[in-house]
Structures are given as C-alpha cells and as structure tokens.
A and B are shown apart, each in its own frame.
Chain A
Amino acid sequence: MAEPVLEVSGLRKTFGTHPAVDDVSFTVPAGGSLGIVGESGSGKTTTARIIVGLENPDAGHVRVDGHDRINAGRGRAERLRRAQQVQMVFQDPYLSLDPRITVGAALTETLRLHHPGTDQAARVTDLLSQVGLGAREAQALPRQLSGGQRQRVAIARALAVSPRVLVLDEAVAALDVSVQAQILNLLADLRAELGIAYVFITHDLGVVRCVTDEVAVMRRGAIVERGLTASVLAEPEHPYTRLLLESVPGPGWDPKAIVTARKALAAVEQSADAQS
C-alpha cells in the first residue's frame, strides 16, 4: 500500500458529557478513498470537522504527509499551508457559496489567496472544465445554477487550492439520482486524474460502494468495523454493520425485523455500558 497521506490517531472529542468521538484512528493512503458511514450522532461529521480544522479535538493527532495539523502555528502562512492540505465539500452548495459573487470571481479569489503569481484566468477555465462547466457558468451567480452545477462549483473551488485530501460531507445526499450519478462519476475521474485522497462521509451504502476503496463504520463515536469496502459490504462482521446493510431497501426488506434487530442491539449495548 502507498504511504499514508492522512493519519488520524486517538481522536477524542466530548461535547458536555457526551463523547462524540471516542478514540478514532485510521489512515488514508495517497490517492485512496475512505468512506465513513454511520447514523446521525455516530460522530462521523465531528470527525470530518476535526480533520478539516473546524473543531479542535480533546486528544489525538491528525497528520497530513507527516505534518501535525492540531498543534501547528496560528500564523497566516501556517493557516494557508493547512488549507492546502485539506479542503471540504459540504452537503448543501446553496450554503457554501457566496450568493453575491460569480463563480469565476469566487474561484479567482481562492487562487489569488493560495497561488499568487500564477495565470489565474487560465486556471479558472481549467478548473471549470475539470468539473464539466464552461465559460457561461463562470459568469453566473450561484442562484442561476442548478443544484448539481452548484455542487460542481463547490468541488472546483476546493480543487483550486490543490489539496492533498478532500473531505466530502454528504456531498451528494441532496442531489437527484441522475445528478448524483454524474457527480459520483466526476469524483471518481478526478481522483484517478489528480491522485487526491478522499474522506467520504455518508449514510448511503450504495454511494460508499461507488466511490471508496475502504470503509469505516462508526457507532456511538467509535469505529466498530473497518476494511476494504467490497469485503465489509459482502461479509459484515459487526452486528451494527449487518443492521445497516439489512436496513437498505431491497429485495426481502423487512422493516419490522429491522426494528426488532435495532432494539436488540441497543439492549446489548446498554447492558455492556452497565457492566463497564
């Protein structure tokens, strides 16, 4: 396996008395793609936010190419360097783009900040064509674009920084299946082309199967199962992973059995909590 580009070790974060992230460790090889799945409240988004630097962990390390991101300096150069390591794409492109500036201007601003002294106009055209957009979209304001186009812009803006790692938090969850398919294929192409690594936060196992090599299943703040995506989906070992897979609508789907299995799992966890 290739050298890890992202190393997360012993991550902990507590909100009040609630442990949101509880001893989470994993690595992502250069150009690799890791899916993090779990239900809401499992800690997957908090983990993503710590990797990007939007939250500070109580303990643990996040390293990109061996450089620590948690205890690094707060100066301008340090912050720019950290931004060039990791970028993030959010679920809702309506909220992550400035409604008042055009797509071209938004990309130019990012380039001016991170890559001053380069030919920015040419790079904007490159970036837009990489995500399947043209000059017409460069002139447009976010509200003049469709949801799928806006998510493409959000991806182009993240790529403008030339990050080593892209964290995608439910980045295709709000899109229609037809548009979602286009974005998932685009992400697969970009990874092959640029060798950028992905951390893909999602609750959709079908999406995980499409875009990740490895998957980590989170439950109550901890990783309960981790492995190659194909083998975890084919032969899940942890009861929670099995429950997740059974919950995906398909032939033989039995909602009542899922409800029963879910209660049984919660009961087992509660008695384990009581013993510890």
Chain B
Amino acid sequence: MNTLQIADLRVVLPGTERPVLDGVDLTVASGETVALVGESGCGKTLTSRAALGMVPPRAEATGTVLVDGRDMLTLGARSLRRVRATTTAMIFQDPRAAINPVRRIGDFLTEGLRLTGAWDKTRARERALTLLDAVGLKSTVLRQYPHELSGGMLQRVMIAAALMADPVLLLADEPTTALDVTTQAEIIALLGELQQRFGTAMLFVTHDLDLAAVIADRVAVMYAGRIVETGPAEEVFAAPKHPYTAALLAASPRLDAPEPRLTVIPGRVPGLHTAISGCPFATRCGHADERCATERPQSTAVPGRAEAEVACWNSESLIPQGGAAHG
C-alpha cells in the first residue's frame, strides 16, 4: 500500500475560472522520495498541503487523499488533528517563520505531541533529546531560543520536530531553498539517513530541478494544477517527454550548460481567472498545434519507461531540450 495516495484531486476556489488543482494523481510509497517540481503558482504547495487535509477556506475539494489508508478530505476534525500530529509532518522553507520566536526549542519540539494528549512530558522530552542527537545538535539547544541558532541549525530543529511522532509521511516544502549549498547538502544527507532509518515516505516540493534529480526516486512535474509528467527522476531529466519539463531544464543556469545565454520560456503560467481548454502549456509551447488548444491531453504511459506518464499530444515527436524559443 502506498503511504500517500492522491487520486483525481480537484480543488476549486470560489470566483475562479479554472480549478487550482485539476485532477492530480500522485503516490508516494513507504521509504520513497518523490519530488514535485514546477513554477510558482502551479499548485505544488497546495498539493502537499492537501496531503494534510488542509484546503483553503471555502474551496471545493473532490477526489481522494489517502494517508496510510485514511481519507484526509472526509476525516472529522478530531481525527484529522491527531493524524496531523502523529502520522504526518511538514517541513517548511523558512524555519524562522514556522517556529515561535518567544518559546524555547524544547517547548516547540514537544508541544504538538503533548497538546494532542498522545504523549506525556517525560516521554516527549526523551524523544526530543534522541532526535536532537540524530540531527547533530547538542541537548543544550532544548533551553535555547530560536534567535540564538543559525538558519541551518533551525532547519535541523524543524526536521527533529517533524520526526517527533515517527511520521509515516514527511512533506518537505522547499526545505533547503533558503540555505547555502554546503548546508543544503548537509540537510539532505540528514534527511536521507533518517528516511532510511525510519522508512518514511517523503514528498519533496522544490523548484530546483538539479536537486530533484539527485535526491528523488521519482519526479512529478506540475503545471497549472495538473501533473504533466511523472517518471524515474534520472530518466525524466535526461530525456524529458513533456515540452514544459524540457523548457524548465533549458532555463536553469547550470555549471555544465553549453552556453551562458539561457533559453527563456515565453509568457507565464495561466492565472486562475483564465479558463483552460486543451493543454494549459499550449500558449507557451513551441510544439503546440490546433489540437493542443482545444483538446485536453490525458496522461498516458511513456513507452519503454517504467511508472512514467506524460500528458502531451506531441510527446513522441519531442526532441529533448527543444521545447522553448530563444529569447
């Protein structure tokens, strides 16, 4: 059984022309890392929040979001609170915004479990000490305040807090974006180690394709609320089947790119006030034809690639890296 299983998730916000999530299918198995990539406004964060049953107020959500077999969209408030505190956990981009600045690290680590009544004070404290050690921090950190720690140390505190209740699912939303590359490597090494030890499933939201390529088992590329391509990370990035994936790769400044000038994706992600008929990427795509503008491409299996799907009418004729115009 998959730890996280999202099927046909649609989220419609009031007063908008297109669903903000439009039929998202996504699975993460135990011990697996899946990277969710795409531009801002594509629905990455919303998808990872939906895994915790957090949909924006007054939004209409349909489909299923199963975490460890329970549907987060239909669960009652009390059970939902318990699932959020014990079986799932989230790590955010900016630890300083997610940690209460006037309370000690020890309180921050233990309060989630204590408030739901799951654990008593002594047990929670012992667990906190074990995890601080696991993330390479000293036990004295328990008595310290957030302002006394650096960003990298605080992100480790966030990871320790996320692992307090042995979650089966870890949702990491750009956890290393605000960190230096060397610190990023340290945090990733730590996450990988802990994941191996505890068998946690991880959904890793990032806009850094190179990072996604090296850490993920599978990758899902999102565009305008839809998953347009999925597959094994290495293969997807080595030979993208969707023009959007190819265009994102060509726009990334890299150390080994052939020339300094970057290939630009013209236009921008369609807003929520534009209805989409056909493929959402059609207006920015160099391969689009008449059918792309009118008929929505369904996800179909990529020939010769295990567990890979792409939603593009012309993916068979796509030459890798040729997806966008020079600008």
**Contact-residue size bin, chain B (C-beta under 8 Å from the other chain):** 35 or more
Q: Are B182 and A262 in contact (CB under 8 A)?
A: yes
Given contacts A178-B39, A249-B214, contact A243 B182 (CB under 8 A): yes
Query: Is there an interface contact between B268 and A250, defined as CB atoms closer than 8 Å?
Result: no
Interface check B180, CB cutoff 8 A: yes
Partner of B40, one of A176, A243, A248: A176
Whether the pair B252, A249 counts as a contact (CB closer than 8 A) is no
Whether A249 contacts B39 by the Cβ 8 Å rule is no
Within the complex, what minimum Cβ distance (angstroms) separates B161 from chain A?
21
Report Cα–Cα, A224/B195, bound state, in Å. 36
Q: Assess whether A181 is interfacial by the CB under 8 Å rule.
A: yes
Residue of B nearest to A233 (CB): B255
Question: Is the pair B253, A255 in contact by a Cβ cutoff of 8 Å?
Answer: no
Q: Which residue of A lies closest to B251 (CB)?
A: A181
> Interface size for chain A: under 10, 10 to 19, 20 to 34, or 35 or more residues?
35 or more
CB–CB A258/B186 < 8 A: yes
Least CB distance, A256 to chain B, in whole angstroms: 5
Query: What 0/1 pattern do residues 198 to 215 of B give for CB contact below 8 A with A?
Result: 000000000111110111
Q: Is the CB of A250 within 8 A of B214?
A: yes
- Name which of A146, A178, A255 has the most chain B CB atoms within 10 A of its CB: A178
Closest to A230 in B: B260
By a CB distance below 8 angstroms, the chain B residues around A184 are 253, 262
With beta carbons under 8 angstroms apart, the residue of A185, A244, A250 that contacts B182 is A244
Report which of B189, B256, B262 forms a contact with A256, defined as CB distance below 8 A. B189
Interface contact B186-A255, CB-CB below 8 Å: yes
A247 within 8 A of partner (CB): yes
Contacts of B214 in A (CB 8 A): 249-251, 253
In angstroms, how far is the closest chain A Cβ from the Cβ of B68?
Answer: 28
- Check if A247 sits within 8 Å of B252, measured CB to CB: no
The one of A206, A243, A259 that contacts B255, using a Cβ cutoff of 8 Å = A206
Residues from chain A with Cβ under 8 Å of B123 in the complex: none
- With contacts A204-B253, A206-B253 taken as known, whether A181 is within 8 angstroms of B189 at the C-beta atoms is no
Smallest CB-CB A-B distances: 6 pairs: A206-B253, A255-B189, A247-B181, A181-B262, A39-B180, A258-B185
